[in-house]
Chains A and B, each alone.
Chain A
Amino acid sequence: MKKIIIADDEHKILMSLEYSFKKNGYDVYIARDGTEVLEFLKTMVPDVILLDIMMPNLDGYSTLDLIKQDENLKNTKVIFLSAKNNPRDIEKGLEMGADAYVTKPYSIKKLMQQIEEMF
């Protein structure tokens, strides 16, 4: 079973993502911000991490930075899921090494397909 961490501070967005990924057979871990993601990463190596960018405490960019420094996580796919749809932000996200940058609002179905294609 693939493991996925979903990080977003919006409760209602998390709900639908959690529901859909569970339904598609993922092992889902929910984080409210970057620090919670890092907490999970201490004990596990997920296959996918969905990261919002604007989050309290530790934002998405900084979280990705820390993820990239961890050798154990080199096979983990990181996808930004953000309402920031400025080309500058998207470029920055991809340059930092995210595997994809999906802007909100998104289609859950398409997001799922995109992730499946990564493997």
Chain B
Amino acid sequence: MSSFALFFVVLFYLALLFLVAHLAEKKRSKFWINNPYIYALSLAVYCTAWTYYGSIGVAATGGLNYLPIYIGPAMIIPAWIYINTRIVRIARVNKISSLADFISLRYGNSRSMGAIITVVCLLAIVPYIGLQIKAISETFHLVTETPMSKDILTDNATFVVILIALFSSYYGTRYVDASEKRLGIISAIALESFLKLFFIIILGLFVIYYVFDGFHDIYQKASRFEDFKQKNTFNGIEGAMNWMVLCMISATAICILPRQFHTAIVENRQEKHIRTAIWFFPLYLLIFTIFIFPIAWGGRLIFDGEKVNPEFYSILIPQHFDNTLITVLVFLGGLSSCISMIIISAITLSIMLSNNLIIPYGLLGKLKSENEVQNTRSITNIRKFSIFALIIMAFAFYKYFILKTSLDSVGLISFVIIAQLAPAFFGAIFWRRGSYKGAVIGLAAGLAICYFGLIIPQYYFSYNQEFKGVLRDMYNSFDFFTIPYLARIPQIFFWSILVNTGLFTIISVSIKGNYRERNFAELYVDIDKYIQNHENAFIWRGTAYISDIQNILERFLGKNKTEQALRIFNLKYNIDSKTETADSRFIKFSENLLAGRIGTASAKILIEGVTKEDKISLKEVLNILEESKENITLNKKLTEQSEELQKLSDDLRNANENLIVKDRQKDDFLDSVAHELRTPITAIRSAGEILADDDDIPLEIKQEFLNNIITESDRLSEIINDILYLDKLQHGEILLSIQQNNILETYKKALNPLLHLIQQKNIHLSEVNLLNRAIFEYDEARMIQLLQNIWGNALKFTDEQGTIQTKLFEKENQLVITIFNTGKHIPEEDLEMIFDKFYQSKNQNILKPTGSGLGLAISKKIIQAHNGSIKAENSGLGVTFTISLPDRIINEIKNEVEHF
């Protein structure tokens, strides 16, 4: 493939990343923000060119030694649920935006410690970035089959690096507050993680099933190599020990590497995302490693005897088979690995560089006197420049130092150097006594050992093979420490960490700590206790004026944001806005506001500049902390109790609301009953009154009144019966006597008593019988009552000369009876409610319902007792009631037929 074409593929690929970053940043939809998989995928920034190419090289030449790099993380990741959850909380309440901030804040928020950590990270990571650039450049030339150009200006790889530098400095510095989440970048990184895995799967399948005849085939052929067995076993105790140490190195790295700290801690949006990451990420690594073995040994089989770099088997294999597509995909996968690492590392290093070196040691004075707009611009420019400079620095490093070394060794050295931060890092979250002096001295000693043990031999001797003299002698004199079982890198790791941890521990316990570091130690170790009101746990005594601090804040946050923050603070702690003097809570609150922008150390320096702090003894701090701890426990108990009370009161309110609804329903029911009863009573009472008072009432009228009394008494008793009957039906007190009956006969029995009423109203009655048979199972008496209720209802609403039509048919094993009448439509909203007792139609309250309002309610209960259903519909000229009765007989017969 031509250089030009590949460059355009790269351009296109970067454009895609730009687009994803841009869309995610612009839309900020829930998919991007609350997605635990995006978080988990972004952690796969761990898999760099070293994983992608280097591991294959190791597998082919060094055997199983490629595995610890994945096993180490897999071992420690389950502990993230404890470790990372705490670090995320600590970082959140303190607005921590980098590894340097995290460690230095714990050891008294000292500027020097932040600076030292930044330098360590730079030393470890810049070569590592160089390594990625090396990978990009070499694979670029490999794919295009062009020689490496000496002149960097004509080398296409140079332009690729510049593009990446531009991309990272643009998207990495979108927010002036470094603790803000970078949605765009993280989404792009997650996409890259997905793609690199996807591409390596494609390559793996290509090697296993296209080039060879399955995994077994590779194994069979490869096992003929003389060194195969030796390379794929542990090599006894020596190999096992090396393995163990390598696992420890990578387990440390996955927690402390700045890019891992950034993706796992700073970019964490929700603690619960860690839960997804602890299974998803190891799974990701597992899939990745599955394909390393076949690619490595497949490569050796293909290129046996040829002089090629086994690290690039993944590109050489598809190229060997002239498969340009897979070659380019693999190249893009490698590019993804490199780009994500470069971007995240550059961003996190630039934050450290600006917040821990450039600002606190140079620009603080300038920033103090400028306004918000200028400051925001300066801070982002510093970071932009740092990112760009770092990448260019790494490029230079690659060109001059690591051109000849393997990816693997540079990566491991990086890990070992970063691991020097481990004692201080883990000490920060687990050990209260750890002190600044112990941490710094331990770190310095560990670094010295790494320098002499790893860096000088790697970068110095490699260029000065013949070098003799003092340095060489000094180096050789360290042979005394050589552990025969360990290889060079595990050995240096062992000694450096041992000395580092030892010094850290001994010095920390033997000297008296500083009160500020002890203060933060409590806050770090007991973060769960202080998470709610962490400002309370910060101890500070002295004189400070809110207006002075406000003035500082405004220079960085602007007037509006400062005022808003102050309002929130006053509200949170119930403080009068007219208060003039600042307390410890306000000092911590203000430091936090600044911390994201300029780092914790600079924030402290700025606030210190306008306050006068009194010294407090360590003993006093411990006492205050003890007291505040008690307060917090008390507070917690009170909160729990009040939450319980709140829950109880909620329950009570719900129960009460239920009761009110029930009560209202009962009231409505009683109201309706009373109303129904009063009407006949009124008629009876009036008639009785007239009969009693009026002596000369004509006989026929007297007769009529007496008749009224009799019929209205009947009506009264009918209503009472209906109510009692409905109640019994409702409580299941009436047992159905279900038997086989002839529905046509039941139909006639039900209709007969109503015939004269139907004739009276001149209503046209018709029936349609579509049944094939007549025997069904039901309680006949109830069925008669039900039919009469529906017909009675239809009769009331059908005008003279109207029509009532009854249709009987079977449908889906059910007996269906529809009764249609030409009465007026029921309002749509009442179609279901008409089956409620005294149903509450919109107008029912004032419009007179016909009948007691209980007939349909009773009908519904009857059909429900038969497991059937009833419904009303407005249809064409009138209303149709449909009664469906399940047919058990049909079911049984059917079952029997199937059995035969």
Contacts and interface: CB of A to CB of B under 8 A. Distances in A.
Interface stretch (A41-49, A50-58, A68-76): A50-58
B622 interface: no
A72 to B, nearest CB: 25
Contacts of A17: 686
A84 B679 CA distance: 10
A66 interface: no
B689 A109 contact: yes
Contacts of B712: 12
A104 B847 CA distance: 17
15 contacts: A12-B711, A12-B712, A13-B679, A16-B687, A16-B708, A17-B686, A19-B701, A53-B846, A54-B845, A55-B847, A59-B847, A105-B678, A105-B686, A107-B689, A108-B690
B704 A54 contact: no
Contact of A20 (B679, B681, B690): B690
A106 interface: yes
B679 A19 contact: no
B123 to A, nearest CB: 85
Contacts of A13: 679, 682-683, 686
A74 to B, nearest CB: 24
A16 B683 contact: yes
Contacts of B468: none
**Which label, helix, strand, loop or mixed, suits the secondary structure of the B interface?**
helix
A17 B711 CA distance: 18
A108 B687 CA distance: 10
A51 B690 CA distance: 21
Contacts of A57: 847
Nearest to B686: A16
Contact of A106 (B682, B705, B845): B682
Contact of B679 (A16, A104, A107): A104
Given A16-B708, A54-B846, 20 more contacts: A9-B848, A12-B712, A13-B686, A15-B708, A16-B687, A19-B701, A54-B847, A54-B848, A55-B848, A56-B850, A60-B846, A83-B675, A83-B679, A83-B682, A85-B674, A104-B679, A105-B681, A105-B686, A106-B686, A107-B689
A16 B705 contact: yes
Given A12-B712, A19-B701, A106-B682, A84 B690 contact: no
A111 B685 CA distance: 13
A61 interface: yes
Contact of A10 (B683, B694, B843): B683
Contacts of B693: 109
B671 interface: yes
Q: From A9, A23, A55, A104, name the one whose CB has the most chain B CB atoms within 10 angstroms.
A: A104
B188 to A, nearest CB: 66
B249 to A, nearest CB: 82
A113 interface: no
Contacts of A10: 679, 682-683
A12 B683 contact: yes
A104 B677 CA distance: 10
Contacts of A107: 685, 689
A32 to B, nearest CB: 10
B168 to A, nearest CB: 73
A59 B704 contact: no
Contacts of B690: 16, 19-20, 108
The 6 A-B pairs with the shortest beta carbon distances in the complex, nearest first, are A16-B686, A83-B678, A59-B846, A12-B683, A104-B682, A105-B682
Contact of B687 (A12, A86, A106): A12
Q: From B693, B711, B846, B850, name the one whose CB has the most chain A CB atoms within 10 angstroms.
A: B846
Could you say which interface size class chain A belongs to?
20 to 34
Interface in B696-731: 701, 704-705, 708, 711-712
Q: From A16, A53, A109, name the one whose CB has the most chain B CB atoms within 10 angstroms.
A: A16
Given A12-B708, A12-B712, A16-B705, A105 B848 contact: no
Interface string B828-857: 000000000000000101111010000000
Interface of B: 671, 674-675, 678-679, 681-687, 689-690, 693-694, 701, 704-705, 708, 711-712, 843, 845-848, 850
Given A12-B687, A105-B682, A105-B685, A61 B708 contact: no
Contacts, number: 78
A15 to B, nearest CB: 7
Contacts of B845: 54
Q: From A54, A60, A108, name the one whose CB has the most chain B CB atoms within 10 angstroms.
A: A54
B675 A84 contact: yes
Contacts of A103: 678
B155 to A, nearest CB: 91
Given A13-B686, A107-B689, A23 B847 contact: no
Contacts of A109: 689, 693
Contacts of B671: 86
A93 B88 CA distance: 68
Interface string A7-49: 0011011011101100100000000000000000000000000
Q: From A61, A83, A107, name the one whose CB has the most chain B CB atoms within 10 angstroms.
A: A83
Contacts of A12: 683, 687, 708, 711-712
A77 B693 CA distance: 26
Nearest to A9: B848
Nearest to A61: B846
A10 B687 CA distance: 13
Contacts of B685: 105-107
A109 B682 CA distance: 13
A10 B711 CA distance: 13
A97 to B, nearest CB: 17
Q: From A9, A12, A62, name the one whose CB has the most chain B CB atoms within 10 angstroms.
A: A12
Nearest to B689: A108
Nearest to A84: B675
A59 B845 CA distance: 10
A106 B678 CA distance: 10
Interface string A84-112: 11100000000000000001111111000
A24 to B, nearest CB: 11
Contact of B843 (A59, A84, A105): A59
Nearest to B708: A12
Contacts of A53: 846
A56 B847 contact: yes
A107 B686 CA distance: 7
B9 to A, nearest CB: 80
Nearest to A104: B682
A17 B687 CA distance: 9
A59 B847 CA distance: 6
Contacts of A104: 678-679, 681-682
A69 B135 CA distance: 94
Contacts of B701: 19
